Amino acid sequence: MAIFTGAGVAITTPFTQDGKVDYQTFEKQINRQIECGTDAIIVCGTTGESSTLDHEEHIEVIRFCAEVVNHRIPVVAGTGSNCTETAIFLSQEAEKCGVDGLLIVTPYYNKCTQKGLIEHYTMIAQSVSLPIIMYNIPGRTGGLLIQPETVVHLCKTVPNIVGVKDATGNISEVAQLAALAKGTVDIYSGNDDQVVPIMSLGGKGVISVLSNVAPKETHEMCAAFLSGDIEKSRQIQLDAIPLINALFCEVNPIPVKKGMQLLGIDTGVLRRPLTEMEPEHAARLKAEMEAFGIL
């Protein structure tokens, strides 16, 4: 059984003006997502600025999220690293926090071969009992790609590796994966502009940036598809494209944190090297949020 189906939010991590994690605002964000129908919360991913959290913060943010959610919906914790031992450590700590699954990005900077990927993911999976979703995002990992054959091999041979978040942007690769997998891999869209296309190939849903600012609409897009109302799902997808483009006109999560601020949810500062959104891009984002009807 999939960890979740539908819309999972890649939730932002709010910070105070002096750069500490703002747990009061974080609790409000989590509850807002659940109230709006979000199907899962993915904590400490790229959108959550996990790369600038130290280990203690990383684990505490995961623990806090799991406690606030309190089993109302699944919580998936990002615990990947370019160092296998670090990923094992974070994964074991996340399991202690009571999460429902793990999201593990491919190694970045040092990279590796497909053989290295198999060993990396197998060692992490064997260190925990939680189900694991691999995270395929070559744009952030120096071009490193988990080949479809490797994804299928891992899901078939390692019991608790269950799926992949695909942020390659390559629908042909997703189609190849789905054809090889024959239902043995839970595929999630990692790109908000490809939710419906990937679900049409058998995908389970999305791990979404858009859901931070439009949780109800992102959930409805997935729910409509899963219930067979393809036309409604497709229309939500198409209507959201200009907003999605605005949310990625600068590197994620710069725009989405500005979007949260525009909604009156102050997620605070960005940790360097991320910087505040350029004024002309912020104006574009505001206009698209208004056009989409969430402002």
The predicted-structure confidence for 46-77, as pLDDT tens digits, reads as follows: 999 999 999 999 999 999 999 999 999 999 99
- Within-domain flag for 100: yes
The DSSP secondary-structure symbol of 140 reads G
Task: For residue 15, report the phi and psi dihedrals to the nearest 5 degrees.
Answer: -125, 150
Cis, bond preceding 253 (omega within 30 deg of 0): yes
Give the pair of three-digit tokens for residue 283.
Answer: 């104006």
pLDDT at 181 over 90: yes
Judge whether 135 counts as a catalytic residue: yes
In the numeric block, the tokens 């990927």 are attached to 117
- Within-domain flag for 290: no
The whole-model pTM stands at 0.98
The predicted structure's pLDDT at residue 69: 98
- Within-domain flag for 293: no
- Within-domain flag for 58: yes
Average pLDDT over residues 146-174: 98
User: CA 3 to CA 103: how far, in whole Å?
Assistant: 11
- Within-domain flag for 104: yes
Give CA angle at 230 (35, 212), nearest 5°. 30
Look up the domain containing 13 and give its range: 6-228
Q: Which of 165, 204, 257, 258 is catalytic?
A: 165
Of the candidates 72, 64, 67, 66, the residue with the CA atom closest to the CA atom of residue 38: 72
Tell me the sheet residues that pair with 27: none
The predicted-structure confidence for 188-197, as pLDDT tens digits, reads as follows: 999 999 999 9
Q: Which of 121, 135, 204, 257 is catalytic?
A: 135
In the numeric block, the tokens 């074991």 are attached to 92
Count of C-beta atoms within a 10 Å radius of residue 97: 18
- Within-domain flag for 271: no
- Within-domain flag for 263: no
Report the domain count for the chain: 1
Question: What does the buried/exposed string (b/e) look like for 105-118 if buried means 16 or more CB atoms within 10 Å of the residue's CB?
Answer: bbbbeeebeeeebb
In the numeric block, the tokens 């090297």 are attached to 273
In the numeric block, the tokens 């608790």 are attached to 160
Q: What is the CATH number of the domain that holds 158?
A: 3.20.20.70
pLDDT at 198 over 90: yes
The predicted structure's pLDDT at residue 277: 98
* DSSP structure string for 119-135: HHHHHHHHT-SS-EEEE
pLDDT band at 1 (very low <50, low <70, confident <90, very high): confident
Cis, bond preceding 273 (omega within 30 deg of 0): yes
- Within-domain flag for 234: no
